[in-house]
Structure 1
């Protein structure tokens, strides 16, 4: 939908995936390297201690992960053409630019800070993106609001779902106030 399109443009979707990977796989932020891959053929890679790499590759089509989720633990036909290695012209990678994609780096830094920061970032981003979609703020203000919310609050240890909900509420209210001031 519209929100995921904006999150894709700001790279917040990749930032949220970074946070998810840390939580789901028990990784530290320094265990993950984010790279841009414009061909969208390689969807994930794991590098082992011996230097070898295993990559999950396929044609860029959301039907593949959806079919995987629906069929797990079995693989089912997703209706996606097989990847033709003979026609792959190149596989290129680059490091994301911090100035062009500040939301990605805000997410990585929030992940380093802990659950309170990631909760606040997600809440602020939801408010900021909706404000952008409603033509209340500019595209660049999304990252500005997210950064301000992260900087406004001190790191906090999270010990309950009630605390997560309260952190979310505080961040949303602060982000709404920032939107109204702009």
Structure 2
């Protein structure tokens, strides 16, 4: 007959810790509190959160027919996307398009906006996905929110007939939340 081995406190602690490793899942990112105008539909869950750092590119353009003044017009954003640890995970550019390092992309279309609490920052936005490419987290995104913006507003003044065609790159940063909608 084999002797029964008694479990020591150290053995039990090791078993509890090992069991915890297999049962833990990463905590889901919580949706931020936002103005009602840019809220996502009920049932939407965050699939990715990214911090963006880059520029908003503006070009001085001739006034459209019937308008009296020249204006700085948004050309496109150019930003790198980072995860919570500061690791670069992708980029954001014209479209508007967000692309991760695997090549998965989502192109959005603006649905609503709200003023930033910072009067010197670009607005907060709600966008809906209009196309996808690839299968990563961005490939699941149905909605995108841009919040917590800093900078990025069009220049004030300096756009006149002599500066038509000139471009200015205005630094900005923001948080982007990408959502899938359960059951859809």
Q: Which of the pair has more CA radius of gyration?
A: 2
- Give me the TM-score of the superposition, normalised by structure 2: 0.22
Higher relative contact order (CA 8 A, sep 6+): 2
Q: Normalising by the residue count of structure 1, what TM-score does the alignment of the two structures yield? A: 0.22
Which has the larger helix fraction? 1
